[in-house]
């Protein structure tokens, strides 16, 4: 039983790897589905805008609240902006946006593709000679890789404003001090570390969700299962890859641990 499960897992990973590779390869071969890509960008980007801003705003506020409380005990309240800035830009912003993106876009991709499989729409594409990976997977990968970094940048800004609100209006700090300490951390190393992650996260979320959706079997229960697996696997991969990327980026950018 366990051997079968391990074999199944290895086979799934192999298929996921192949789908991710062919999905990328689709960017280099005609036909290019521009309309499909734009539709996916609208769904993933414009559709997630409000929720990312809302979540990021409150994450920034909560973080600022916690830090202001602790730092004021140490007499270091003036560093609130700096710590909020580093935490949001390098770490929390990309992860929070990716988690929201998984919940909204990843689950949507898995359930949409899953219902297309169950409704024989994917088979119909194959019968018509259309490559389902090029038509369905490549536009979703492209839209996720473009839109998640954009959403992360907007989310970071919202978090910093949330932090500002708490620091100035609840912790009674100077707005000038808050923004100047935020500006101090907006250096290339930090911004680069924060902007590389969403590209990788977007690619992982799109590939995993497309794979889970396209491997849907067994009616409504199968659809529920593939959507759940897409979200769970994406979240795990975001957290694990975040750790790995953080380690690599800190090393590459010359930070000592």
Partner 1 sequence: MIVFDRVSFSYANRLILGNMTFSINADERVAILGGSGEGKTTILKLILGLIRPDSGKIIIAGEDITEKTENELRETRMKFSIVFQEGALFDSLNVKENVAFCLREYTKMSEKAIDQRVRELLRTVDVEQALEFKPEELSGGMHRRVAIARSLAAFDPAMFLYDEPTSGLDPVNADNICRLILDLSRNGKGFIIVTHKVFDAIKVADRFMFLHDGMLLLDGGKEKLLRTPIPEIQVFISELQYTEEGKNV
Compare residues 133 and 158 and give the one whose CB is closer to partner 1. Answer: 133
Q: How far apart are CA 151 and CA 247, in angstroms?
A: 23
Helix axes 138-165, 93-101, angle to 10 degrees: 130
Compare residues 130 and 177 and give the one whose CB is closer to partner 1. Answer: 130
- Rounded least distance, CB 184 to partner 1, Å: 47
Compare residues 17 and 119 and give the one whose CB is closer to partner 1. Answer: 119
Compare residues 28 and 256 and give the one whose CB is closer to partner 1. Answer: 28
- Rounded least distance, CB 134 to partner 1, Å: 11
- Rounded least distance, CB 122 to partner 1, Å: 9
- Rounded least distance, CB 106 to partner 1, Å: 19
N residues, the chain: 257
Cis previous bond, 175, omega within 30 = no
Q: Which residues are at the interface with partner 1 (CB under 8 A)?
A: 31, 39, 115-116, 119-121, 123-124, 126-131
Burial class (CB in 10 A: 0-12, 13-18, 19+), 98: buried
92: nearest Cα among 159, 46, 151: 159
- Rounded least distance, CB 194 to partner 1, Å: 34
Helices (H) and strands (E) in the chain, counts: 12, 0
- Rounded least distance, CB 233 to partner 1, Å: 22
Compare residues 116 and 151 and give the one whose CB is closer to partner 1. Answer: 116
206: nearest Cα among 114, 107, 123, 62: 107
Compare residues 22 and 224 and give the one whose CB is closer to partner 1. Answer: 22
Q: How far apart are CA 63 and CA 159, in angstroms?
A: 9
Q: How far apart are CA 64 and CA 61, in angstroms?
A: 5
């Amino acid at each position: 039983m366990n051997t079968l499960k391990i074999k199944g897992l290895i086979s799934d990973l192999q298929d996921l790897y192949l789908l991710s590779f062919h999905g990328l390869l689709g960017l280099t071969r005609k036909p290019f589905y521009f309309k499909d890509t734009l539709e996916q960008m609208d769904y993933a980007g414009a559709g997630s805008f409000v929720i990312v801003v809302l979540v990021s705003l409150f994450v920034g506020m909560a973080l600022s609240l916690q830090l202001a409380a602790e730092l004021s005990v140490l007499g270091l309240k003036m560093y609130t902006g700096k710590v909020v800035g580093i935490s949001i830009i390098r770490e929390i912003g990309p992860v929070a946006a990716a988690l929201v993106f998984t919940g909204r876009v990843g689950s949507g991709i898995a359930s949409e593709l899953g219902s297309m499989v169950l409704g024989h729409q994917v088979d119909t594409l194959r019968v018509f000679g259309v490559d389902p990976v090029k038509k369905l997977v490549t536009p979703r990968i492209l839209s996720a890789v473009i839109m998640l970094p954009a959403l992360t940048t907007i989310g970071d800004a919202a978090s910093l404003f949330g932090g500002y609100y708490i620091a100035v209006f609840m912790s009674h700090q100077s707005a000038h001090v808050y923004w100047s300490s935020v500006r101090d951390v907006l250096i290339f190393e930090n911004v680069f570390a924060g902007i590389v992650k969403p590209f990788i996260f977007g690619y992982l979320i799109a590939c995993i969700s497309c794979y889970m959706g396209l491997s849907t079997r067994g009616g409504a229960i199968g659809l529920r299962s593939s959507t759940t697996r897409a979200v769970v696997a994406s979240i795990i991969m975001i957290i694990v890859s975040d750790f790995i990327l953080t380690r690599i980026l800190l090393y590459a950018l010359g930070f000592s641990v």
